[in-house]
Amino acid sequence: MVLSTQDSAIAVAAREIPERSSRKRSSLSENVQRQLDKAAEMMDLNTAVRKILSTTMNEIVVHFPVKMDDGRTEIFTGYRVQHNDALGPFKGGLRFHPMVSLDEVRALASWMTWKGAIARIPFGGAKGGIQFDPTKHSKSELEHITRRFTYALGNMIGPEYDIPAPDVNTNAQIMAWILDTYLSTVPPHDRQRCVHVVTGKPIEAGGSLGRDKATAQGIVYCIEQWAGDNRFKLDGAAVVLQGFGNVGSWTARLLKPFGARIVAVEDVTGSIYNSRGIDPDELFRYVSANKGVTGFPNAEAVDHDRFLQTRADIFIPAALENQITEETAPKLNVRLVAEGANGPTDPDGDAILQHRGIELLPDILCNSGGVIVSYFEWLQNKRSEAWELEEVDDKLKKKIVNAYRRVRETTKRYNTDWRTGAYIVALSHLEAVYKERGIFP
């Protein structure tokens, strides 16, 4: 299903569509297909299931008008792609970014399906976003864009149907606006039953303790497991971090008590380096005040290449996709890549890392803490409960450690890489569900 809506009656100001980077990037859905094909061949996945999972179920495109602060009206384009709901309601984040496209959202939606299957949570996969640069808008414009997008999606989202969450450039405040707008569109007596239409909400608006740090917490639990398996000491380990937003900054702060040293950090404003370590709490305060890592006093500025080549133990990409490629993978000087971002490594980058003996904890396992705690938030809302932080963290640890072990054992059994092992775990689970349910009619 492809839907498109446009309110053409309103005068429209021309909106610039940002140009894509001139650097050659592989299409994200091609990357997903290559990853899926490799695992499907290896495990001999049922042909019908392979066809179904290679395709998205619904793709919704909305064009909607929003009045700017100065009275002009601009048209925005938003997407919601629902990849698969065999395991439960569609679930996945919303991102606000100039590079958001249908291709990107398709790939991100598929990765959500695999994450739910690996973590054994009853969610399918979806993703969405609006193609624009939120840094160029005031808070009130952001609110209007968010609310108008939610209204345009209408009942294409819903607490038992498709549940958005935060992603790049979206946060608890954005989720609160989505919640409020959605609730305004349902009859008053249904409103209290619909609070779980989004997750990642502020605590006061029905959010869960621990959701803000959940993705990072999951990454740290995975790294801890990997360190245990490899007799690797996190105390004193050097870490390179790309991205210092929700996932990156929380990961840095959660690694601090282990004695890990963050030696290099990069964000959209530039890259910084300090061999003695960059204090994540100090950097967090600096970034909150200055909107980026550039200019941080206790580190030197370095260029992108030098950042990539930093000698360290662990590289954590926590920014955008397609960062570790044929061109950049040869430059990494680390032992482990722990993927916080979705799709940071393309298949060529993967092959080079494997060839160089650099281990990799794949996104669909390593960053699944976010969707796992989103599931806990959704459950708490449905049951009118509010769990303590320790309970959330304990349950997250159990889920993600079990997922880690499933992937580790499958990877060993098939004698393959961790990403393919993770795909086999996900695809086997989905295959079993399709076999039991059959394909209608």
The distance of closest approach from Cβ of residue 164 to ligand NAD in the complex, given in angstroms and rounded to an integer, is 12
As a three-state string, the secondary structure of 327-354 is: CCHHHCECCEEECCCCCCECHHHHHHHH
- Which value, to the nearest 10 degrees, does the dihedral of the CA atoms of residues 265, 266, 269, 272 take? 40
- Residue with Cβ nearer ligand NAD (65 or 210): 210
The distance of closest approach from Cβ of residue 346 to ligand NAD in the complex, given in angstroms and rounded to an integer, is 14
How many whole angstroms separate alpha carbon 49 and alpha carbon 202? 38
Do 322 and 26 meet the contact criterion of CB atoms below 8 Å apart?
A: yes
- Residue with Cβ nearer ligand NAD (76 or 307): 307
How many whole angstroms separate alpha carbon 264 and alpha carbon 258? 17
Strands (DSSP E) along 349-411, which ranges? 359-361
Please provide the DSSP assignment of 154-220 as one string.
Answer: GGGSBTTTEEEEE-TT--HHHHHHHHHHHHHTS-GGGGGG-GGGSSS--GGGT--TTSTTHHHHHHH
How many Å separate Cα 255 from the centre of its chain? 20
- What is the gyration radius of the CA atoms in the chain, in angstroms? 21
Residues that bind ligand NAD (CB under 6 A): 166-169, 215, 242-248, 266-268, 318-320, 340-342, 367, 370
The distance of closest approach from Cβ of residue 438 to ligand NAD in the complex, given in angstroms and rounded to an integer, is 32
The distance of closest approach from Cβ of residue 148 to ligand NAD in the complex, given in angstroms and rounded to an integer, is 21
The distance of closest approach from Cβ of residue 97 to ligand NAD in the complex, given in angstroms and rounded to an integer, is 8
Phi–psi pair at 48, nearest 5 degrees: -65, -40
- Residue with Cβ nearer ligand NAD (150 or 367): 367
Among candidate residues 208, 128, 210, 192, the one with its CA nearest the CA of residue 166: 128
Catalytic residue, chosen from 91, 115, 127, 397, is 127
Structure token digits, residue 293: 């890592």
The distance of closest approach from Cβ of residue 127 to ligand NAD in the complex, given in angstroms and rounded to an integer, is 9
- Residue with Cβ nearer ligand NAD (87 or 175): 175
**Does the active-site annotation cover 127?**
yes
Structure token digits, residue 247: 């996932």
Length of the chain: 441
Alpha helices in 154-195 (DSSP H): 172-184
How many whole angstroms separate alpha carbon 359 and alpha carbon 350? 10
Q: Reduced to 3 states, what is the DSSP secondary structure of residue 169?
A: coil
The distance of closest approach from Cβ of residue 28 to ligand NAD in the complex, given in angstroms and rounded to an integer, is 11
List the beta bridge partners of residue 301: 272
The distance of closest approach from Cβ of residue 267 to ligand NAD in the complex, given in angstroms and rounded to an integer, is 3
- Residue with Cβ nearer ligand NAD (302 or 319): 319
- Residue with Cβ nearer ligand NAD (45 or 316): 316
- Residue with Cβ nearer ligand NAD (158 or 292): 292
H or E element that contains 430? helix 418-437
How many whole angstroms separate alpha carbon 105 and alpha carbon 102? 5
Q: Which amino acid is at 404?
A: Y
- Residue with Cβ nearer ligand NAD (349 or 370): 370
Q: Are strands 2-3 and 162-166 parallel, antiparallel or unpaired?
A: unpaired
CA distance between the termini of the chain: 19
How many whole angstroms separate alpha carbon 34 and alpha carbon 48? 17
Please provide the DSSP assignment of 230-285 as one string.
Answer: TT---TT-EEEEE--SHHHHHHHHHHGGGT-EEEEEEETTEEEE-TT---HHHHHH
The distance of closest approach from Cβ of residue 122 to ligand NAD in the complex, given in angstroms and rounded to an integer, is 18
How many whole angstroms separate alpha carbon 346 and alpha carbon 321? 8
- Residue with Cβ nearer ligand NAD (182 or 250): 250
Residues labelled catalytic:
127
